[in-house]
Amino acid sequence: MIPSGAKHRNMVECPDCEAFYDANDDPGCRIDDDTVVCANCAALRGWAQCAGCSEWKEENDLMEGCDCEDYCESCWSERFTTCEDCNETFGHDDMTYYDDCSVCESCADERRRRDNPDSFLPRRGTIGSDDYTKMGSERAFGIELETHECDGYGQLQDDPAWGAKNDCSVCGKEFFSAILKGDNGLAAIDRLCDFADDNNWEVDSRCGYHAHFDMRGESNDSLKAIALAYLASYDVWSLFVNHNRLRNSYCGAHDVEISELWACRDFSYFSDSQDRYQWINFCAYNKFQTFEVRLHEGTLDGCAVKNWVRGHATFMDWAAANGWNIVRNKLLNASTTEKLALLRKIWTDAGCADLADYYEKKAHAVMA
């Protein structure tokens, strides 16, 4: 008998246990086209709910995530992946790419040690502080400096900010940082460059300086605004680097149509369609949640390394804060001189007026 009372108007009888249950609280599990049973009986029949979408599935069709919950195949794929080396399950954010393989951080480190027996790694996590007086931006960053000669580099193993690895394109090592932030991040650059100077390190024309900038907090709209700012400003950034660098095949100019960028509803798809060997590498977004600026020639000049980081971080902040329309109006049809003036204002407003003096000298030397 159906229980009386208005509160029981949605009561349904389970055909297995013949008990009534409230369909509002428990919609039941559809075993086949004609049979719907209560949650308890569904579990007894070997069915379970996906921890992601709450749909009922046969237990054999569910997959366990690294959080020990069970998921349907679709929900599992949205959240987790399997390391290609150790076959353990990890969340997507805990994975990295190495040699085009998706591996966990531990296995990536093991691969690096195997491939670079005389290499070492920086400390995990972010090295920084809450002081941004010199930096002018709270944006985290990481850098890669390629060298031709790097005698004594092994002494840097005790510096938590730096790692070293082999790079087939150069004779020396590539030095790469932990995630850096703020004025302490700039101090880490000083330590490396001072050590390089003391030990007479060298770079040559094959060496480059690549800087990664954190995009983890950006929305799709702000990512598009930052990307537009770079597509519209190659002419001015190219004034700040060695002219020979502009002919380097590892950091070419973009030929992206602005309409293609404007139309993308998910920046990940735009990122996938790009070439990593561009002066600004948007492909890095999908792999590392960064934009990588590859335009700068190899250098071990601490001032040059730091100013490049500060200049780009504050420029990215400006683009993200102002959005597509303002970026387009300020940059898309502006002359190189007008863009230089805009950079001066951006840097001055960020408390980095010294950057304008530094880069305007470089630009005027080229434009004279």
Each residue of 224-240: pLDDT tens digit? 999 999 999 999 999 99
DSSP per position, 299-346: ---HHHHHHHHHHHHHHHHHHHHHHHHHHIIIIIT--HHHHHHHHHHH
**Does the pLDDT of residue 34 top 80, yes or no?**
no
Query: What percent of the chain has a predicted confidence (pLDDT) above 90?
Result: 61
Render pLDDT for 43-67 as a digit per residue (tens, 0 to 9): 888 888 898 888 888 888 899 998 8
Q: Give the confidence band of 26 by pLDDT, cuts at 50, 70, 90.
A: low
Q: What is the mean pLDDT of the chain?
A: 90
pLDDT at 368: 67
CB-based contacts of 69: which residues, under 8 Å, 6+ apart? 51
**Does the pLDDT of residue 36 top 70, yes or no?**
yes
Other CB atoms within a 10 A radius of the CB of residue 192 amount to 22
Alpha-carbon gap, residue 368 to 26, rounded angstroms: 77
**Does the pLDDT of residue 213 top 70, yes or no?**
yes
Alpha-carbon gap, residue 155 to 147, rounded angstroms: 16
Q: Give the confidence band of 290 by pLDDT, cuts at 50, 70, 90.
A: very high
CA dihedral 168, 170, 176, 181 (to 10 degrees): -130
DSSP per position, 155-168: GGGG-TTEEEEE-T
**Does the pLDDT of residue 11 top 90, yes or no?**
no
**Does the pLDDT of residue 8 top 60, yes or no?**
no
- In sign, the C-alpha dihedral spanning 86, 275, 125, 152 is positive
Render pLDDT for 298-314 as a digit per residue (tens, 0 to 9): 999 999 999 999 999 99
β 126-127/179-180 pair status? parallel
- Domain regions of the chain by residue span: 6-65, 119-367
Render pLDDT for 108-136 as a digit per residue (tens, 0 to 9): 877 876 776 678 889 988 999 899 999 99
pLDDT at 9: 61
Render pLDDT for 159-206 as a digit per residue (tens, 0 to 9): 999 999 988 788 899 999 999 999 999 999 999 999 999 999 999 999
